[in-house]
Amino acid sequence: MSKKAMVTNDNFDSIGTSAKPLLNVFATNLYGDVKNADGTDKYTPANSAEGAAAKEVGNILSTVGLSHNGIYRGKNLGTFTSVAAFEAFLTAHEVSSGKFTDLYLGDYFTIQDGTYNKEWEIAGFDHYLHKGDTDFATHHLVLIPKTNLFTAGMNDSNTTANGYAGSKMHTTHIPTINTKLATVLGNHLLTRRELLTTSMSTSLASMAGAGQTGASNNWAWSDVKAVLPNEVEIYGCTALSSSFYDVGIGCEKLPLFNFKGHSHAREYYWLRAVASSTGFCYADNFGGAYPDDASDALGVRPLICVG
* Helix, strand, coil abundance in the chain, percent, nearest 5: 30, 25, 45
pLDDT in tens, 100-144: 999 999 999 999 999 999 999 999 999 999 999 999 999 999 999
264 contacts: CB under 8 Å, gap ≥ 6? none
How high is the pLDDT of residue 2?
A: 38
As a whole number of angstroms, the distance between CA 281 and CA 237 comes to 13
Q: Give the model's confidence band at 65: pLDDT under 50 very low, under 70 low, under 90 confident, else very high.
A: confident
User: What strands, in cross-sheet order, belong to the sheet with 150-152?
Assistant: 150-152, 298-300, 269-274, 279-283, 289-293
The SS3 assignment for 169 reads helix
CA trace torsion 272, 273, 277, 283 (10° rounding): -80
How high is the pLDDT of residue 21?
A: 46
Q: What predicted TM-score, i.e. pTM, was given to this entire model?
A: 0.85
How high is the pLDDT of residue 237?
A: 97
Considering only CA atoms, which of 65, 289, 57, 80 is closest in space to residue 182? 80
Mean pLDDT on 186-206: 98
Considering only CA atoms, which of 72, 142, 83, 82 is closest in space to residue 107? 72
The b-or-e profile of 269-303 (16+ CB within 10 A means b, else e) is: bbbbbbbbbbbbbbbbbeeebbbbbbbbebbbbbb
